[in-house]
Chains A and B, each alone.
Chain A
Amino acid sequence: MYILKLIFKNAFRHKLRTWLTILGITIAILAFGLLRTVISAWYAGVEASSASRLVTRNSISIIFTLPLSYKERIRQIDGVNIVSWGNWFGGIYIDEKNFFANFAVDPKTYFELYPELIISPDQKAAFIRDRKGFVAGRKLAERFGWKLGDSVTLRGTIFAGQWDFVMRGIYKGRDNTVDETTFFFQWDYLNEKMKKISPARADQIGFYMIGVTKPEIAADVAVNIDKTFKNSVAETLTETEKAFQLGWIAMSQAIVTAIQLVSFVVIIIIMAVMANTMAMTARERIGEYSIFKTLGFGGRYIAVLIFGESLIISMIGCAFGIAFTFPAAKSFGNALSNFFPIFNVALETIYMDIAAALLVGTVAGIFPTVRSISIRIADGLRRIG
Chain B
Amino acid sequence: MSENALVEPRSIVLIRNVNKSYRRGSQTIPVLENVSFDIAEGEFLALMGPSGSGKSTLLNLLAGIDSVDSGSIAVGGLDITTLSEMDLARWRAVNVGFIFQFYNLIPVLTAYGNVELPLLLTKLSKKERREHVDLALSMVGLSDRMDHYPNQLSGGQQQRVAIARAVVTDPTILVADEPTGDLDRISAAEILDLMGRLNKDLGKTIIMVTHDARAAAKAHLIKQLDKGVFIDVHS
Chain A interface (Cβ < 8 Å from any Cβ of B): 2, 6, 9-10, 13, 287-288, 291-298, 376-378, 381, 384-385
Contact = CB atoms under 8 A, between A and B. Distances in A.
Contact of B121 (A6, A297, A377): A297
B98 A296 contact: no
Interface in B12-68: 57, 60, 63, 65-66
Tell me what chain A mostly uses at the interface: helix, strand, loop, or mixed.
Answer: helix
B106 interface: yes
Contact of A13 (B65, B100, B108): B108
Given A296-B90, A296-B94, 11 more contacts: A2-B120, A6-B109, A9-B108, A295-B98, A295-B121, A295-B165, A296-B89, A297-B121, A378-B65, A381-B65, A381-B100
Interface of B: 57, 60, 63, 65-66, 86, 89-94, 98, 100-102, 104, 106-109, 116-118, 120-121, 165, 182
A326 to B, nearest CB: 34
Contacts of B98: 294-295
Contacts of A377: 60, 65-66
Nearest to B120: A2
A298 B86 contact: yes
B108 A295 contact: no
Contacts of B93: 295-297
Contacts of B57: 378
Contacts of B106: 6, 288, 291
Nearest to B66: A378
Contacts of B91: 296
A346 B181 CA distance: 62
A291 B65 contact: no
B36 to A, nearest CB: 21
B102 A296 contact: no
A295 B90 CA distance: 9
Contacts of A293: 65, 89
Contacts of B89: 293, 296-298
A372 B83 CA distance: 21
A271 B61 CA distance: 40
A361 B107 CA distance: 24
Given A378-B66, A385-B102, A294 B109 contact: no
A276 to B, nearest CB: 22
10 contacts: A6-B108, A10-B108, A287-B104, A291-B100, A292-B117, A295-B92, A295-B93, A296-B94, A385-B101, A385-B182
Nearest to A3: B120
Contacts of B121: 295-297
A2 B106 CA distance: 14
A122 to B, nearest CB: 69
A294 B98 CA distance: 8
B104 A384 contact: yes
B58 to A, nearest CB: 12
A385 B155 CA distance: 13
A295 B102 CA distance: 15
B86 A294 contact: no
B110 to A, nearest CB: 10
A291 B89 CA distance: 12
Nearest to A1: B126
Contact of A296 (B92, B100, B109): B92
Contacts of B100: 291, 381, 384
B116 to A, nearest CB: 8
A385 B100 CA distance: 10
Nearest to B109: A6
Contacts of B165: 295
A297 B86 CA distance: 9
A306 to B, nearest CB: 14
Contacts of A10: 108
Nearest to B101: A385
B8 to A, nearest CB: 32
A384 B118 CA distance: 20
A202 B99 CA distance: 97
A376 B90 contact: no
Which 9 A-B pairs have CB atoms at the shortest separation, nearest pair first? A296-B93, A9-B108, A377-B65, A385-B102, A296-B92, A378-B66, A291-B104, A296-B89, A378-B60
A115 to B, nearest CB: 61
A6 B108 CA distance: 7
